[in-house]
């Protein structure tokens, strides 16, 4: 006899609701027939990670938690893009805006929150928005292509993450905040001011103690007016001033709300068989706005619905971590000192680290960390477990950053199995330890893939590492928490490079064999990387493995979205002449090139070229390849400099041409762009190039690690030199050091950030080291050949790469 399943309806396809269903499927897969309604046109996704989508670090498809197949595989009926507009609690049915009515035995309301929109005049203008959904994120990304200046109202977590995103999208951004300390709900004054300083350095402008009173403009916003009469310009305004539980549906259905949907310790509402979970729920007077508490609620609700014994949900202690790269901020528990509390503080102004722990009755009740947040999760555990710290020294409570990591140091051994290690994903110590033992996991990455712990904000990584140490004992290699080249190997970039050098390895397959690659064919991540490292280490003897290169590099042309190619001849320093221009024009005509375009790097791009025309075009052009497709030197942008400009103090064109001629064809870990400006007016944009040269009074300044692309970064001043010969020498040393220590695919902006400009300056300015680097660079440059010339001279290359084979 088959038992009839109960009908469970979930309203809200967000993080909290679907998490309950996930638990239920594990606890009692056959008890319920599940139907889910979601207003958004997407399967369940990780809202937290929207900040990474906005900042360009992730794509929308990367943040989906459960794809459509998950619903199908678990027999869940999903209605996306459909909003439930009424609940009839007597007949136990819900009805959607599309007129669909579904009955339930149990109903979960997980409708989340609505962003609070300040009701001021002009708030309905085009360009005024909230930041909550994938759609919002897409609008912000699209707007950044058209508009230049954004204002974010609200200097809380959401506002700051949005502001950082705008910077990455190339917009200028003001953050308007009502009081004089940002993140005032999470940080004390000291940490707040340190954070403000760090974010100002990144480029965010703060307008503090400002009360917004009116949004001005025509149909679309043009500015924001404040109570003090001042106005700030804006093409886009994002309101991030907090959220309100979304209770419209519950209220209209007669379910008690104040202001969130009132629930008891088992998440039951005032109406039988109706539950509420997540940001819409109000538990003991609190509506939470972070995922950790929502998952804690979900775990209790799932057990309750499964009929499994469970304790009550008694509330959560909050902790947060700002997800802005380059700043580490953590806040947890009751971080403001009050009567009866004492605090331990460490404030190292040199390294920009601030740590404060608030203590009451020998127990830690709150913490604020800035600059080094490794202690965060451990301190949270001590807060939750009310650890008695009377016997502990100050350094046992707050590490100095060098001692962290050992299983014992972080106290993971003492934690209970149900202690939550990863708040974002609600993963407990027990789950992680079982997975490590049962699945034979040895790295943090493997734990992430298997359990989802550390998948979101990453704040729990140190603790996951400690759990590996605790579970695997002496066999745990802490370095296994290292960043491997890819999933085919357990080796890091540095280990592979060392092995190539020490073992004298000479081709890609040999490296994979000797270092016991798990996947003997390698993958698109490791093969190009190995090919680069081998060439960098032995430039004279290594035979480039073109099969390990990406298609653009193999073809020496960028493939376009319609399958045609682009041809970009080199124009040194962006300086050309009538003969060259005529030739380019003639070739474009001869080969019917549909589009000829000036690039941002001051050269000409012939677009829409057929594969079979490539070799003949290069031959006709008779110009060197511009390497527009390669991880190599791309362009050297120059201004006219002292030759023509009345402000110029240096020969920008001359220096630029010399640099480009010297380093053309040089393979580098990622693409490299240079620029030379003839005076600090910087018309060649030297501040946002991998190396930017600027003529100043009495010499030249060299700026390192700039980037004007996805992650905009202003270059750091590396050195000031006197002569043009020194520019070449310093650039040689800098680029060679990048070649030798950069990870394949890592731009100089990331590399300079990782190694630190002080370190790079020390290396480059040390005469002995500089000379050695230059020698190795000269060797690398001595063997480069123009790929187009090689193709023109080789019938085999032409046949293998460029001939179109007619299929019969």
Ligand X SMILES: Cc1cc2nc3c(=O)[nH]c(=O)nc-3n(C[C@H](O)[C@H](O)[C@H](O)COP(=O)(O)OP(=O)(O)OC[C@H]3O[C@@H](n4cnc5c(N)ncnc54)[C@H](O)[C@@H]3O)c2cc1C
Ligand Y SMILES: NC(=O)c1ccc[n+]([C@@H]2O[C@H](COP(=O)([O-])OP(=O)(O)OC[C@H]3O[C@@H](n4cnc5c(N)ncnc54)[C@H](O)[C@@H]3O)[C@@H](O)[C@H]2O)c1
Window of 53-61, 457-465, 681-689, 729-737 that interacts with ligand FES by CB under 6 A? 457-465
- 653 belongs to the binding site for ligand SF4 (CB under 6 A): no
Nearer to ligand FES, 151 or 453 (CB): 453
Q: Which does 460 bind (CB under 5 to 8 A by kind): ligand Y, ligand FES, ligand SF4, none?
A: ligand FES
Specify the pairing of strand 699-704 against strand 329-333: unpaired
Nearest-CA neighbor of 367 among 351, 349, 389?
Answer: 389
Binding pattern for the stretch 261-300 against ligand Y, x by CB under 6 A and - elsewhere:
----------------------------xx----------
247 burial level (CB within 10 Å; 0-12, 13-18, 19+): buried
- 14 belongs to the binding site for ligand Y (CB under 6 A): no
Q: Which does 639 bind (CB under 5 to 8 A by kind): ligand FES, ligand SF4, ligand X, none?
A: ligand SF4
Window of 50-58, 187-195, 454-462, 527-535 that interacts with ligand FES by CB under 6 A? 454-462
Nearby residues of 550 by Cβ (< 8 Å), 6 or more positions away: 524, 528
Nearer to ligand SF4, 433 or 676 (CB): 676
Q: Which does 323 bind (CB under 5 to 8 A by kind): ligand SF4, ligand FES, ligand X, none?
A: ligand X
What is the number of helices (H) and of strands (E) in the chain? 27, 36
DSSP letter (8 states) at residue 513: H
740 burial level (CB within 10 Å; 0-12, 13-18, 19+): middle
- 652 belongs to the binding site for ligand SF4 (CB under 6 A): yes
Sign of CA dihedral 277, 280, 283, 286: positive
Q: Which does 53 bind (CB under 5 to 8 A by kind): ligand Y, ligand SF4, ligand X, none?
A: none
- 721 belongs to the binding site for ligand FES (CB under 6 A): no
- 50 belongs to the binding site for ligand FES (CB under 6 A): no
Nearer to ligand FES, 455 or 634 (CB): 455
What distance in Å separates the CA atoms of residue 615 and residue 792, rounded to the nearest whole number? 6
> What is the closest distance, in whole angstroms, from the C-beta atom of residue 111 to ligand FES in the complex?
24
Sign of CA dihedral 321, 70, 105, 2: negative
- Kindly identify the residues of this chain, within the stretch 627-646, that bind ligand SF4 according to CB under 6 A: 639-641, 645
For the sheet with 363-370, list strands across it. Answer: 319-321, 329-333, 363-370, 353-360, 341-348
Nearer to ligand FES, 15 or 659 (CB): 15
Contact predicate 240/154, CB 8 Å: yes
Contact predicate 390/396, CB 8 Å: no
Window of 307-315, 447-455, 731-739, 742-750 that interacts with ligand FES by CB under 6 A? 447-455
Window of 126-134, 675-683, 727-735, 746-754 that interacts with ligand SF4 by CB under 6 A? 675-683
Q: Which does 242 bind (CB under 5 to 8 A by kind): ligand Y, ligand X, ligand FES, none?
A: ligand Y
> What is the closest distance, in whole angstroms, from the C-beta atom of residue 451 to ligand X in the complex?
18
Q: Which does 682 bind (CB under 5 to 8 A by kind): ligand X, ligand SF4, ligand Y, none?
A: ligand SF4
- Kindly identify the residues of this chain, within the stretch 46-75, that bind ligand X according to CB under 6 A: 47-48, 50-51
DSSP letter (8 states) at residue 125: S
> What is the closest distance, in whole angstroms, from the C-beta atom of residue 399 to ligand X in the complex?
24
What distance in Å separates the CA atoms of residue 557 and residue 567, rounded to the nearest whole number? 6
Three-state secondary structure string covering 670-733: CCEEEEEECCCCCCCCHHHCCEEEEEECCEEEEEECCECCCCCECCEEEEEECCHHHHHHHHHH
Nearest-CA neighbor of 246 among 265, 256, 268, 261?
Answer: 261
Using DSSP, state whether 225 is helix, strand or coil: strand
- 458 belongs to the binding site for ligand Y (CB under 6 A): no
- 456 belongs to the binding site for ligand FES (CB under 6 A): yes
What distance in Å separates the CA atoms of residue 222 and residue 249, rounded to the nearest whole number? 35
- 168 belongs to the binding site for ligand X (CB under 6 A): no
- 557 belongs to the binding site for ligand FES (CB under 6 A): no
- Kindly identify the residues of this chain, within the stretch 438-497, that bind ligand X according to CB under 6 A: 457
Window of 3-11, 27-35, 171-179, 765-773 that interacts with ligand Y by CB under 6 A? 171-179
Contact predicate 301/266, CB 8 Å: yes
> Of these, 12, 17, 44, 161, which contacts ligand Y (CB under 6 A)?
161
Sign of CA dihedral 528, 530, 533, 535: negative
Q: Which does 669 bind (CB under 5 to 8 A by kind): ligand SF4, ligand X, ligand FES, none?
A: none
- 423 belongs to the binding site for ligand FES (CB under 6 A): yes
Contact predicate 429/417, CB 8 Å: yes
- 454 belongs to the binding site for ligand FES (CB under 6 A): yes
Structure tokens at 744: 């394949």
DSSP letter (8 states) at residue 62: G
Q: Which does 454 bind (CB under 5 to 8 A by kind): ligand SF4, ligand FES, ligand Y, none?
A: ligand FES
Structure tokens at 474: 């002496």
- 424 belongs to the binding site for ligand FES (CB under 6 A): yes
Window of 152-160, 396-404, 694-702, 747-755 that interacts with ligand Y by CB under 6 A? 152-160
The site that binds ligand FES (CB under 6 A) totals a number of residues, namely 12
Question: Left, alpha or beta for 229 (phi > 0: left; psi -120 to 50: alpha)?
Answer: left
What distance in Å separates the CA atoms of residue 451 and residue 431, rounded to the nearest whole number? 7
Distance of CA 567 to the CA centre of its chain: 32
> Of these, 21, 23, 25, 38, which contacts ligand X (CB under 6 A)?
38
Window of 42-50, 484-492, 561-569, 754-762 that interacts with ligand X by CB under 6 A? 42-50
Contact predicate 65/71, CB 8 Å: no
- 144 belongs to the binding site for ligand Y (CB under 6 A): no
Contact predicate 603/625, CB 8 Å: no
> Of these, 118, 389, 472, 728, which contacts ligand Y (CB under 6 A)?
118
- 444 belongs to the binding site for ligand SF4 (CB under 6 A): no
Q: Which does 47 bind (CB under 5 to 8 A by kind): ligand SF4, ligand Y, ligand X, none?
A: ligand X
Three-state secondary structure string covering 384-415: HCCCECCCCCHHHHCCCCCCCCCHHHHCHHHC
> What is the closest distance, in whole angstroms, from the C-beta atom of residue 81 to ligand X in the complex?
9
- Kindly identify the residues of this chain, within the stretch 263-282, that bind ligand X according to CB under 6 A: 278-279
**H/E stretch holding 136:** helix 134-146
Specify the pairing of strand 427-428 against strand 420-422: antiparallel
C-alpha distance from residue 627 to each of 553, 630, 787 (Å):
9, 5, 9
Nearer to ligand SF4, 239 or 659 (CB): 659
Contact predicate 150/173, CB 8 Å: yes
- 410 belongs to the binding site for ligand FES (CB under 6 A): no
- 155 belongs to the binding site for ligand Y (CB under 6 A): yes
- 457 belongs to the binding site for ligand FES (CB under 6 A): yes
Q: Which does 683 bind (CB under 5 to 8 A by kind): ligand SF4, ligand FES, ligand X, none?
A: ligand SF4
- 459 belongs to the binding site for ligand FES (CB under 6 A): yes
Binding site for ligand FES (CB under 6 A): 422-425, 453-460
Binding site for ligand X (CB under 6 A): 11-17, 37-40, 47-48, 50-51, 83-84, 110-113, 131-132, 158, 246, 249, 278-279, 289-292, 294, 323, 424, 457
Binding site for ligand SF4 (CB under 6 A): 639-641, 645, 647-648, 652, 677-679, 681-683
Binding site for ligand Y (CB under 6 A): 118, 153-159, 161, 176-179, 184-185, 212, 240-243, 289-290, 320-323
């Amino acid at each position: 006899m088959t038992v009839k399943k109960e009908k469970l309806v979930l309203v809200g396809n967000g993080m909290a609701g679907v998490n309950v269903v996930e638990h239920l499927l594990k606890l009692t897969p056959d008890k319920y027939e599940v139907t889910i309604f979601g207003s958004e046109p997407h399967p369940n996704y990780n809202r937290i990670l929207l900040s990474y989508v906005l900042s360009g670090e992730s794509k929308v498809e990367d943040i989906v938690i459960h794809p459509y197949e998950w619903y199908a595989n678990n027999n869940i009926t999903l209605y996306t893009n459909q909003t439930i507009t009424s609940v009839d609690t007597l007949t136990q049915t819900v009805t959607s805006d599309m007129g669909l009515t579904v009955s339930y035995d149990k109903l979960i309301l997980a409708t989340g929150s609505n962003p609070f929109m300040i009701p001021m005049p002009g708030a309905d203008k085009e360009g005024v928005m909230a930041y909550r959904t994938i759609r919002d994120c897409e609008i912000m990304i699209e707007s950044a292509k058209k508009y230049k200046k954004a204002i974010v109202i609200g200097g809380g977590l959401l506002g700051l993450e949005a502001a950082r995103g705008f910077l990455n999208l190339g917009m200028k951004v003001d953050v308007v905040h009502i009081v004089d300390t940002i993140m005032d709900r999470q940080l004390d004054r000291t940490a707040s001011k340190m954070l403000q300083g760090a974010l100002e350095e990144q480029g965010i402008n703060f307008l503090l103690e400002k009360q917004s009173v009116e949004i001005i403009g025509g149909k679309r916003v043009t500015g924001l007016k404040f109570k003090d009469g001042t106005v700030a310009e804006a093409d886009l305004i994002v309101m991030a001033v907090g959220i309100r539980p979304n209770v419209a549906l519950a209220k209209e259905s007669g379910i008690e709300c104040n202001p969130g949907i009132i629930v008891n310790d088992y998440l039951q509402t005032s109406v039988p068989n109706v539950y509420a979970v997540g940001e819409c729920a109000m538990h003991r007077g609190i509506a939470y706005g972070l995922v950790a508490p929502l998952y804690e609620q979900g775990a209790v609700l799932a057990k309750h619905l499964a009929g499994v014994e469970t304790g009550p949900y008694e509330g959560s202690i909050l902790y947060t971590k700002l997800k802005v790269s380059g700043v580490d901020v953590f806040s947890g528990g009751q971080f403001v000192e009050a009567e009866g509390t004492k605090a331990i503080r460490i404030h190292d102004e040199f390294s920009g680290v601030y740590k404060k722990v608030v203590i009451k009755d020998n127990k830690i009740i709150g913490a604020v960390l800035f600059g080094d947040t490794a202690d965060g999760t451990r301190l949270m555990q001590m807060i939750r477990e009310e650890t008695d710290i009377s016997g502990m020294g100050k350094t046992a409570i707050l590490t100095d950053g060098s001692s962290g990591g050992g299983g014992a140091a972080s106290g993971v051994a003492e934690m209970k199995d149900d202690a939550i290690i990863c708040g974002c994903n609600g993963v407990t110590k027990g789950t992680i330890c079982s997975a490590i033992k049962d699945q034979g996991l040895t790295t943090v990455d493997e734990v992430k893939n298997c359990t989802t712990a550390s998948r979101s904000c990453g704040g729990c990584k140190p603790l996951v590492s400690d759990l590996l140490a605790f579970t695997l004992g002496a066999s745990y290699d802490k370095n296994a928490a290292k960043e491997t080249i890819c999933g085919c190997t357990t080796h890091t970039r540095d280990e592979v490079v060392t092995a190539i050098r020490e073992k004298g390895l000479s081709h890609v397959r040999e490296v994979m064999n000797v270092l016991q690659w798990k996947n003997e064919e390698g993958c698109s991540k490791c093969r190009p990387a190995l090919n680069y490292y081998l060439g960098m280490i032995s430039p004279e003897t290594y035979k480039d493995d073109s099969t390990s290169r990406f298609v653009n590099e193999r073809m020496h042309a960028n493939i376009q979205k319609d399958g045609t190619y682009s041809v970009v001849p080199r124009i040194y320093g962006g300086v050309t002449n009538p003969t060259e221009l005529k030739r380019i024009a003639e070739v474009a005509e001869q080969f019917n090139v549909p589009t000829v375009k000036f690039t941002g790097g001051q050269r000409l791009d012939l677009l829409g070229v057929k594969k079979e025309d490539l070799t003949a075009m290069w031959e006709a052009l008779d110009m060197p390849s511009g390497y527009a497709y390669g991880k190599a030197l791309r362009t050297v942008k120059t201004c006219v400099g002292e030759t023509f400009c009345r402000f110029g103090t240096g020969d920008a064109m001359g220096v630029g041409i010399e640099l480009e001629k010297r380093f053309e064809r040089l393979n580098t870990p990622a693409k490299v762009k240079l620029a030379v400006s003839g005076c600090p007016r910087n018309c060649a944009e030297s501040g946002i190039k991998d190396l930017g040269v600027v003529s100043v009074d009495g010499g030249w300044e060299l700026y390192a690690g700039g980037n004007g692309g996805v992650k905009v970064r202003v270059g750091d001043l590396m050195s000031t030199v006197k002569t043009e010969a020194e520019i070449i020498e310093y650039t040689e040393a800098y680029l060679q050091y990048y070649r030798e220590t950069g990870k394949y695919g890592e731009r100089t902006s990331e590399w300079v950030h990782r190694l630190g400009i002080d370190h790079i300056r020390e290396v480059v300015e040390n005469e002995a080291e500089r000379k050695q680097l230059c020698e190795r660079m000269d060797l690398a440059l001595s063997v480069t050949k123009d790929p187009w010339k090689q193709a023109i001279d080789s019938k085999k290359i032409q046949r293998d790469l460029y001939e179109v084979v007619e299929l019969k």
